[in-house]
Amino acid sequence: GNSVTQMEGPVTLSEEAFLTINCTYTATGYPSLFWYVQYPGEGLQLLLKATKADDKGSNKGFEATYRKETTSFHLEKGSVQVSDSAVYFCALRDTGRRALTFGSGTRLQVQP
């Protein structure tokens, strides 16, 4: 079956620090990979996606590269801001399926 594993949080960083949130996956087909973000009091929003191996998704200074050889899709940002404080979810959508499979989420807290 499909599964997504994320590093446990919370991750606490100072402003302008480098961010990495690890995500690995198991899938039976050739999945598309996603990062969703949930800001306090708001609904889930798509942050970035990659649909095939070696693709890099990017948005708002965040990046993630689809690594088929290591089944990973780690989220990175070079310089975090207080406004990036949120819960981040890694997700996949496998070949032939339309539903998303999510990881358990990683809470990021950025301190000024």
Partner 1 sequence: GAGVSQTPSNKVTEKGKYVELRCDPISGHTALYWYRQSLGQGPEFLIYFQGTGAADDSGLPNDRFFAVRPEGSVSTLKIQRTERGDSAVYLCASSLTLDREDEQFFGPGTRLTVL
Taking the CB of residue 97, how many other CB atoms lie within 10 A of it? 14
Return the SS3 of 64.
strand
Residue among 60, 45, 50 nearest 93 (CA): 50
Residues 6+ apart with CB under 8 A from 43: none
Nearer to partner 1, 14 or 51 (CB): 51
Which residues inside 52-81 make contact with partner 1, applying CB under 8 A? Answer: none
List the one residue out of 88, 94, 109 whose CA is nearest residue 45. Answer: 88
If binding is defined by CB under 8 A, does position 43 make contact with partner 1? Answer: yes
Least distance to partner 1, CB of residue 97, Å: 8
Q: Which of 42, 69, 70, 112 binds partner 1 (CB under 8 A)?
A: 42
How far is Cα 53 from Cα 30, in angstroms, rounded to an integer?
9
> Which of the stretches 11-19, 36-44, 52-60, 67-75 binds partner 1 when contact is defined by CB under 8 A?
36-44
Contact between 35 and partner 1 (CB under 8 A)? no
Chain residues that interact with partner 1, rule: CB under 8 A = 4, 32, 36, 42-46, 49, 51, 89, 91, 93, 97-105
